[in-house]
Structure 1
Amino acid sequence: MKAEAADAAGARLARQATVEVAGVLGKRDMSRADLARLMGVSPGRVSQILSGDENLTLRSLAAVAEALELDVRISFVEPKAVPQDVTTMRHGGSDAYVYTH
C-alpha cells in the first residue's frame, strides 16, 4: 500500500511541476519548441518531459529550470495546507498548485 501511495504522490508532484513549467512558458509567450531550443534537445523530448506520462526526474526538472534561468524550490508542507498565494487546478482527479508570486 505504501508503494501505491508513493506512486500517487509522485504523479501529483510531476503534474504540479509540469503545470508550473507550462505557466512559465505561457507568461514568457514561449512554446515547447522554444524550450527545446534552449535545452538543446528535440521538441519531442520536451513533450515527453511535460506530458505527465513520464516519471519526471529531478535531473529533467533541473535541466528545464536551467534552460529557463530559474531556480526550483522544493518544500514539504502539512497535508491540505495550501498557501494563500496559489491557484488550485484540477488535473486528472488530483490538485496541482500554481504559485502566483
Structure 2
Amino acid sequence: MPWKSKGVKAEAADAAGARLARQATVEVAGVLGKRDMSRTDLARLMDVSPGRVSQILSGDENLTLRSLAAVAEALDLDVRISFVEPKTGRQDEVALRPDSSDAFVYTH
C-alpha cells in the first residue's frame, strides 16, 4: 500500500521507498556473495523457508525494518541508517562500489 493515497509527495515517497529496498537487497546480496552463501543458507540461519528469503530479497518497496533486522541478526551484522544530504541531480540506480567495499553508490 502506498505511503499516502495519492499526490506528488506520495509518489516521491513510494519511489524513495523502492530505492531504499533495492539498496538494502544489493547490500545483503553483497554480504552473501562475500561469505559464499546462498539464499538457502540464509533461510537456514533465519529458520524460514527459502521462499520467504526470496520474498525479503525481492527488492519490493514493502520490505520492512523487521525483515531487515531479521536478516542482520541471522548474519550477525548491525544495520545502520543515516540521513545525508543528496548529491546534485536525481539518483536512480544502485551499484556496488568498484573498491569492493560493502558500500554502495547511486548511479545515473
Task: Bin the TM-score by the shorter chain.
Answer: 0.7 to 0.9
So what's the TM-score if we normalise by structure 1?
0.82
Query: Unaligned 5+ residue runs, structure 2?
Result: 1-7, 103-108
Inter-partner Cα distance in structure 1 for 2:48 and 2:61: 16
Q: How does 1:1-101 map to 2 (within 5 A)?
A: 1-53=8-60, 55-80=62-87, 94-96=92-94, 98=96, 100=101
Q: AA paired with 1:14?
A: A
Inter-partner Cα distance in structure 2 for 1:26 and 1:59: 22
Q: Which has the higher strand share?
A: 1
Q: Taking every aligned residue pair, what percent have the same amino acid on both sides? A: 84
Query: Unaligned 5+ residue runs, structure 1?
Result: 82-92
Extract structure 1 runs of 4+ deviating beyond 4 A: none
Q: CA deviation at 1:96?
A: 1.7
Inter-partner Cα distance in structure 1 for 2:61 and 2:52: 11
Q: AA paired with 2:77?
A: L
So what's the TM-score if we normalise by structure 2?
0.77
Alignment: residue pair count: 90
- Whether the aligned pair in 2 keeps the contact of 1:16 and 1:98 (CA below 8 Å) is no
Give RMSD over aligned pairs: 1.8
Q: Which has the larger radius of gyration?
A: 2
